[in-house]
A = this chain, B = another copy of it.
Amino acid sequence: MRRRSAVAQASDIVMNEAVSKKEFSPDSPSRIEGDVESYVLGLGKAARKAARVLASADTDKKNAALEVIASRLLESADAINEANAVDMEAGRARNLDAALLDRLELTPARIQGMADGLRQIVALPDPIGEITDLQTRPSGIELGKMRMPLGVIGIIYESRPNVTADAAGLCLKSGNAVLLRGGSEALQSNLAIARCIRQGLLEVGLPAECVQLIETVDRSAVGAMLAMSQYIDVIIPRGGRGLIERVANESKVPVIKHLDGVCHVYIDKDADLEMATAIAFNAKTDRYGVCNAIETLLVHVDVAAELLPGLAQKYLQEGVELRVCERTQAIIGQASAATEEDWYAEYLAPILSIRIVDSIHQAIDHIAKYGSAHTESIVTADKATADRFLREVDSSSVMVNASTRFADGFEYGLGAEIGISTDRLHVRGPVGLEGLTNQKYVVLGSGQLR
């Protein structure tokens, strides 16, 4: 029903020449003519125009598009699998490593996952257009804030083709046009997914240019995106450190980025040691390759002798390598000495560094020096100590008596996340729909003058 009514509204949409169906039809993806820079500029210009249409599309239309895209993905599963098989074969021929091939592979379950993800986004409230904080000022004007899309978002990512659907879904629901630049190793898979997205947009009467995939593997396309501040409002890189650093260094467009996840649990002298053991163990071992797993455990000297032997035993039984400070070594033995580099390291592996500290102050100092401002948790039964940790640790998520593994868009109720920001401006932590919006001021007057 939803889809039908949205289709009926299609004629409301302003279709101008540059975003008409002629140029980008679902069946004939655009040919890349001329140099890469002009090609990317053309996409940017079209995205800016489409963004204006999308910004004023109503919730029903955006949801209808998401539903149609989900259906098209499921219907096109065979075509997507075939395209993915081409990428996989090329990847094997290029000797891509097993982890990369695993991320690249699209199984039927993963295609179903993309469709489910889009339908979950349908269920999320639309953040756009809401007016909040209304107040009457002494002048008589009513002042409020209205939430708006950022405009055009550029996403630069590697390997995982499901990002194509996830990112498109979040941008669409938040009213933003998006330019997607996936990894060259996933181009065929991404093209097949993008074709479903294009079909969904056109079917509900939205410009296909709301979601555009850069259809060249030429690396200079990334440089062109990063220079295009007139057409892209924010760049979100997703991938390894090399990619993110390149983007951050080169970009003329503002960047929302996730750099490192060097997360800490600090076990305070007033901790419940059973709880502390469980949290420290869970935060490391639940999953190793994730950014919200801890890399360093800090333990107050007063509880170290009681806590560490048992906890170290649990880690070692689980196959976690421990790299520890001298005082920890004196208590648990059988662990190598941590070097200065270890305190900075994001292992993303079954390795943990452990340091004994003399005070919460020392713990906070350690985190400020070596941490990446991602997620830190204190285990303590003392409220004043907890409050101090909450206030003085300046990370995107700061926790008391909980595993750092909760720093996640789904756990926080955002529904889905386009990434986790370790930046300090605009948005920190998991970035959901709201992180892809801004707020403008609205003023309702009745003839007020100054």
Q: Which residue of B lies closest to A233 (CB)?
A: B424
Contact: B398 with A424, CB < 8 Å? Answer: no
| A47 adjacent to chain B (CB < 8 Å) | no
Q: Which of B254, B439, B446 contacts A428 (CB 8 A)?
A: B439
List, in ascending order, chain B residues with CB within 8 A of A429's CB: 440-441
Rounded to whole Å, the gap between the CB of A177 and the closest CB of chain B is: 13
Query: How does the 8 Å CB contact mask read for A422-445 relative to B, with 1 for contact and 0 for none?
Result: 011110111000000011111111
Query: How does the 8 Å CB contact mask read for A272-303 relative to B, with 1 for contact and 0 for none?
Result: 10010011001000100000000000000000
Tally of this chain's copies: 2
List, in ascending order, chain B residues with CB within 8 A of A15's CB: none
Q: Given A135-B413, A151-B424, A447-B272, verify A442-B398 contact (CB < 8 Å).
A: yes
Q: Which of B143, B275, B440 contacts A395 (CB 8 A)?
A: B440
Taken together as a complex, chains A and B put the C-alpha atoms of A448 and B286 apart, in Å, by 13
Taken together as a complex, chains A and B put the C-alpha atoms of A282 and B139 apart, in Å, by 15
Rounded to whole Å, the gap between the CB of A418 and the closest CB of chain B is: 14
Contact: A406 with B141, CB < 8 Å? Answer: yes
Contact: A402 with B447, CB < 8 Å? Answer: yes
Taken together as a complex, chains A and B put the C-alpha atoms of A214 and B448 apart, in Å, by 43
Taken together as a complex, chains A and B put the C-alpha atoms of A141 and B407 apart, in Å, by 11
Q: Given A426-B426, A443-B402, verify A143-B52 contact (CB < 8 Å).
A: no
Taken together as a complex, chains A and B put the C-alpha atoms of A293 and B200 apart, in Å, by 44
What is the size, in residues, of chain A's interface with B at 8 Å between Cβ atoms? 69
Taken together as a complex, chains A and B put the C-alpha atoms of A386 and B234 apart, in Å, by 29
List, in ascending order, chain B residues with CB within 8 A of A396's CB: 440-441
| A116 adjacent to chain B (CB < 8 Å) | no
Contact: A449 with B279, CB < 8 Å? Answer: yes
Q: Given A407-B441, A446-B401, A447-B402, verify A394-B139 contact (CB < 8 Å).
A: no
Rounded to whole Å, the gap between the CB of A218 and the closest CB of chain B is: 25
Contact: B438 with A56, CB < 8 Å? Answer: no
List, in ascending order, chain B residues with CB within 8 A of A439's CB: 428
| A31 adjacent to chain B (CB < 8 Å) | no
| A150 adjacent to chain B (CB < 8 Å) | yes
List, in ascending order, chain B residues with CB within 8 A of A402's CB: 141, 443-448
Contact: A406 with B440, CB < 8 Å? Answer: no
List, in ascending order, chain B residues with CB within 8 A of A143's CB: 412-413
Residue of A14, A55, A151, A440 ringed by the most chain B CB atoms within 10 A: A440
Taken together as a complex, chains A and B put the C-alpha atoms of A290 and B95 apart, in Å, by 62
Known: A56-B391, A141-B402, A386-B444; 9 extra A-B contacts, CB below 8 A, are A14-B361, A55-B392, A55-B394, A135-B413, A279-B449, A286-B449, A396-B441, A397-B440, A402-B447
